[in-house]
Amino acid sequence: MIETLLACFPFEILGFHADNGSGYINKTVAELLEKLRVEFTKSRPRHSNDNGLAETKNGAIVRKHLGYSHIPQCFASEVNAFCREFLNPYVNFHRPCFFAESVTDAKGKTRKRYRLQDMMTPYEKLKSLPAAGVFLKPGMTFGKLDQTAAAMSDNEAAERLNETRKKLFQSINRRSRHAAYNPGPCPLGDSFRLKPELELTGLPTRRAPSYNLPLTEP
């Protein structure tokens, strides 16, 4: 999974910062990052502010678009595909965000300002950096990335994201409700139906989880 994520970036990755979870602190990840010559750093235990950027993204992007409900692990591949094909392109190419500007006053105190004129998409921010082209991966150009950004409008990308997410959560909710009445392996098919005999006999069942759709993009 980490190798797939790193491959999605259009520029070379020089550093990888993670918490102390076993999903990151293991031999497999260490060997992968060593092969890619990526510096590996980790946060201090019990210091959540070390991962402030990741925690902010969890709230502003992950929780907003995927909600707070638990999603069973067997649906991870579908959620990952949704993020890769729909959420990531929208966030990086079509969703403007503020970028802070540091201003130091006469007393030497530095403040962060978020000006409206500095609002841009992450891709536009990347292009605005001095000599940004030298950081792109071999074979990747801003011309190719411009084509991806211009493939659809911002509103079209938001509508595409919302529609696909709605279908994804409806599918997960439907299959999870089926699994609640039919204990066993996690259902991966998309055409499950609640068995009538379970509805009529009054057999004890597990409570079916409900996945509420997160906020939609304008």
In the predicted structure, residue 7 carries a pLDDT above the cut 70: yes
Domain ranges of the chain: 70-94+156-218, 95-151
* pLDDT of amino acid 59: 80
pLDDT class of 218 with cuts at 50, 70, 90? low
How would you class 75 by CB atoms within 10 Å of its CB: exposed for 0-12, middle for 13-18, buried for 19 or more?
Answer: buried
Q: Is the pLDDT of residue 156 over 90?
A: yes
Per-residue burial over 14-35, b = 16 or more CB atoms within 10 Å of its CB, e = otherwise: eebebbeeeebeeeebeebbee
- The tokens describing 16, both together, are 């990888």
Under the banding of pLDDT at 50, 70 and 90, the label for residue 20 is confident
Residue 175 vs residue 181, higher pLDDT: 175
Amino acid 207: pLDDT = 43
pLDDT of residue 63: 87
Q: In which residue are the tokens 């190419």 written?
A: 93
Average pLDDT taken over every residue of the chain: 81
Helix, strand, coil percentages (3-state) for the chain, rounded to 5, are 50, 10, 40
Within 10 angstroms of residue 72's Cβ, the number of other Cβ atoms is 13
Q: Is the pLDDT of residue 112 over 70?
A: yes
Percent of the chain with pLDDT over 90: 34
Instruction: Tell me the pairing of strands 39-42 and 15-18.
Output: parallel
The better pLDDT of the pair 190, 180 is held by 180
Output the pTM of the full model: 0.74
Q: With 90 as the cut, is the pLDDT of residue 57 above it?
A: no
E strand or H helix at 97: none
